[in-house]
Amino acid sequence: MGKIELTLRMYFAGLGYDCYSVKLPEGGMINIRISKNVLKEPKHKELRVTIEWENPADVGVIE
C-alpha cells in the first residue's frame, strides 16, 4: 500500500488547466490534470490532494 499527500499550487499559465506528474516510489507515474473551474474561489490557488493505493498496478487513469 502507498500514500502520497500533495499540495498543488495553481498557476494556469494562460491555460484553463494545470498538469502535474507524480513519480511513485514503487515505480510508475500518476498524471494529474486540474481544470481551473474545480476551484470554488478563483483567488484560492492551492489544492491539497491525498492519493492512496493498494498496488501500483491498481492505479489507473481517472478523468
In whole angstroms, give the CA distance from residue 1 to residue 53.
Answer: 6
Whether the predicted pLDDT of 63 surpasses 80: no
State which H helix or E strand residue 33 sits in: strand 29-35
pLDDT score for 10 = 73
In this predicted model, what pLDDT tens digit does every residue of 6-60 receive, in sequence order? 888 777 666 677 788 888 777 778 888 877 776 666 555 777 888 887 765 655 5
- Quote the pLDDT of residue 55: 66
Per-residue pLDDT at 59: 55
pLDDT, residue 27, reads 76
Query: Is residue 42 within 8 Å of residue 14, measured between CB atoms?
Result: no
- For the entire predicted model, the pTM comes to 0.52
How many whole angstroms separate alpha carbon 39 and alpha carbon 56? 28
